[in-house]
Amino acid sequence: MENNSFSKPIILGISLLLGLFLLGFFIFKGLKTFTDKDRVVTVKGLAEMNMMATSATIALNFSYSGDNLQDLIKQTENKKNEIITYLTNTGFNEKDLTINKIEVNDRQNYYETRWENGKQVKVKIDRYTITQNLSVQSKDIKSTEDNFSQINLDLINKDLTCNVSTYYTYPSLNSIKPQLIAESTKNARIAGEQFANDSQAKLGKIKTASQGQITIGDSYSYDEENSSDSEEPKEPYVQKARVVSTIVFFLE
């Protein structure tokens, strides 16, 4: 009976010490967790990707103006047929040609008011303007600009001057968005780890993340501050997709 009476205070004391130890441990962990919430680092991750055009088009358009509608239509048809003949003789397939219907603009009121010698006068202008648009698909995307230059020069020499331009079609942004975001997140983590190492800390989980808007720039419109010369697209059939993600990491 005496041994039991003696052991009970010892067990009670050990239990009390263990309880105090556990209480202190959990208080410490709670305070550490609370203070660690303020230890964060905000970094940005840049990702860029060159997008190759999937198709190319050479567009040609010209117009005539005058007062005799039938004569204008005839001139337009003759010039259109000569251009088509030139393109097919050059090697373009007629099935790759798209010929839009002519557009007729009838001003009806074909006088306009101008200032001459300090007073307003009415000046006669052409009543009708007829516009014709054609386009041809370029099979070799990389040679489109060369073809465009040659076509423009040949038409001038043949007195078939047109407004000649090129258009390119690119992949959908949704097709590259996952890869861009993954790359920007990876680059942000690399920057965060470098900061953590310099601070003698360890990079933790992501607290918050925000994806910037994906921007598109061609070879004449790119971010000089964040792009090196080697990364600049030189070809007009290449566009650069760019996104910057902002990520906040916990520091442990």
Q: CATH code at 75?
A: 3.30.70.2970
Length of the chain equals 252
- What are phi and psi for residue 124, nearest 5 degrees? -75, 130
Residue 22 lies in a domain: no
Instruction: Judge contact between 249 and 192, C-beta under 8 A.
Output: yes
Enclosing domain of residue 117? 56-169
**Given pLDDT bands bounded at 50, 70 and 90, which one contains residue 61?**
very high
Shared-domain flag, residues 147 and 236: no
Residue 231 lies in a domain: yes
**Given pLDDT bands bounded at 50, 70 and 90, which one contains residue 24?**
low
| Highest-pLDDT range among 68-77, 213-222, 231-240 | 68-77
Q: Supply the pLDDT for residue 138.
A: 87
Residue 15 lies in a domain: no
Domain boundary among 169, 193, 222: 169
Shared-domain flag, residues 176 and 165: no
Q: Supply the pLDDT for residue 229.
A: 46
Residue 18 lies in a domain: no
| pLDDT reading at 239 higher than 80 | yes
Domain boundary among 142, 169, 196: 169
Shared-domain flag, residues 68 and 146: yes
Lowest mean pLDDT among 5-9, 31-35, 36-40, 187-191: 31-35
| pLDDT reading at 129 higher than 90 | yes
Q: Supply the pLDDT for residue 5.
A: 56
Which comes out higher in pLDDT, residue 6 or 73?
73
Residue 13 lies in a domain: no
Residue 27 lies in a domain: no
Of 74, 219, 202, which Cα lies nearest the Cα of 145? 219
pLDDT, tens digit (0-9, with 9 covering 90-100), for 151-202: 999 999 999 999 999 999 988 888 888 898 889 989 988 988 888 888 788 8
Shared-domain flag, residues 189 and 164: no
| pLDDT reading at 27 higher than 70 | no
Residue 165 lies in a domain: yes
pLDDT, tens digit (0-9, with 9 covering 90-100), for 198-216: 878 888 888 888 887 888 8
pLDDT, tens digit (0-9, with 9 covering 90-100), for 78-89: 999 999 999 999
Residue 71 lies in a domain: yes
Shared-domain flag, residues 151 and 105: yes
| pLDDT reading at 233 higher than 80 | no
Structural domains in the chain (count): 2
Q: Supply the pLDDT for residue 228.
A: 45
Lowest mean pLDDT among 20-24, 99-103, 223-227, 232-236: 223-227
Domain boundary among 169, 188, 213: 169
Shared-domain flag, residues 138 and 62: yes
Torsion (CA) 108, 110, 114, 119 in degrees, nearest 10: -90
- What are phi and psi for residue 41, nearest 5 degrees? -135, 135
| pLDDT reading at 28 higher than 60 | no
Shared-domain flag, residues 161 and 194: no
Residue 208, domain CATH: 3.30.110.170
Shared-domain flag, residues 81 and 147: yes
Shared-domain flag, residues 193 and 217: yes
**What number is the average pLDDT over the span 111-117?**
77
Shared-domain flag, residues 99 and 151: yes
Shared-domain flag, residues 145 and 193: no
Shared-domain flag, residues 127 and 228: no
